[in-house]
Amino acid sequence: MKKVVPFYYSSSGNTEEDKILLEPIEYNLQCNDIHPYRKIPSIFNYWFKVSPDKLQLIDEVMQMAYNTCVVFIKFLFLGRFDDIQDEAIMRNGFPVTHSVYGLHYSINAANYLQFLACEKFINLHPMAVKIVIEQFMEYYKGQGMDLYWKEKFICPKDEEYNILAVRKSGWLNIMVVKLMKLFSTYEEDVLSLASTFGLYRQIHDDYCNLRHDEDTNQNSYCDDLTEGKMSFLVIHALRNNPDDKKIINILKQRSKNIEVKRYFVKILESYGSFKYTKDVLDELEKKIRTEIDHLGGNPPFVKLLDDFRNKMLKTRI
């Protein structure tokens, strides 16, 4: 595990206390320091060209926001809140944070970090804190609806899923873009691109989760099925085959059995859900690349898209 020195200190100046309060976050950073989200600020700054000091601050706040959410729900995603809520056990090969530090200690650390992110911007710009809070709210709206559908076994409409996907996977992109806009003279509108990339990333995650590659183990394989998640592929299968009760019944079992998971995947494949999802991803990728070209190009962004595509191509059923 790589040692990471935390930069999450409050304005109180009591760094020793902060280290104690944020120890679960430090652990999460050590397990999560190569996540693609780390590249977001530098990618969008290719256009905005904010000053190095502002870029560093925006990067820190984005990392704080991301780690807050990871601790709370799937890697204690998105640190992340969704590890606790999704009842995840492992993330990226490490035990989720709350399984090491306990639920209450981990939640308190994530809550504290969330307010530290806001504190960073209090004296910097009158709109900055508002932007951070708004995007936190968007994330929690997305996570909340995801949980509601999952617990009630409700299959959402495509439009509802798209809204959720942008909220869950696009909120950090949008937050970074809006914050950079405060400190930049760049006038082109990239919010639509930020949202589309968020949608692409969520569908990409759904697609890859129900497949496997050389890094997949028995615990991580199809863990969306174990969570009972209404993923993009599941929604396609349910919407187009409403009389097939096997899909929803298997979801209700929250099965960890590898053979049940393989059977579930075969059902989705037989209904064309994998092909449909890949076609949608190809169209979204094409749309993103076209918009990047329209904005004058962005080699780091293109490289990130190439990485996502290569990861998808390495997976198999």
Which tens digits make up the pLDDT trace of 244-299? 999 999 999 999 999 999 999 999 999 999 999 999 999 999 999 999 999 999 99
**85 pLDDT exceeds 70?**
no
Q: pLDDT tens-digit profile of 38-65? A: 889 999 999 999 999 999 999 988 888 8
**What pLDDT score was predicted for residue 11?**
85
**What pLDDT score was predicted for residue 34?**
57
**82 pLDDT exceeds 50?**
no
- Match 């096997």 to its residue by tokens: 246
**What pLDDT score was predicted for residue 87?**
52
pLDDT grade for 73, boundaries at 50, 70 and 90: low
The residues spanned by each domain of the chain are 15-313
Radius of gyration of the CA atoms of the chain, in A: 20
Q: What is the mean pLDDT of the chain?
A: 87
Q: What percent of the chain has pLDDT over 70?
A: 86
Q: What's phi and psi for 92, nearest 5 deg?
A: 55, 30
Task: Tell me which CATH homologous superfamily contains domain 15-313.
Answer: Farnesyl Diphosphate Synthase (1.10.600.10)
**207: closest CA among 312, 116, 282, 100?**
312
Contact predicate 31/40, CB 8 Å: no
**What pLDDT score was predicted for residue 174?**
97
Contact predicate 8/17, CB 8 Å: no
**What pLDDT score was predicted for residue 4?**
47
Q: pLDDT tens-digit profile of 129-183? A: 999 999 999 999 999 999 899 989 999 999 999 999 999 999 999 999 999 999 9
Q: What percent of the chain has pLDDT over 90?
A: 61
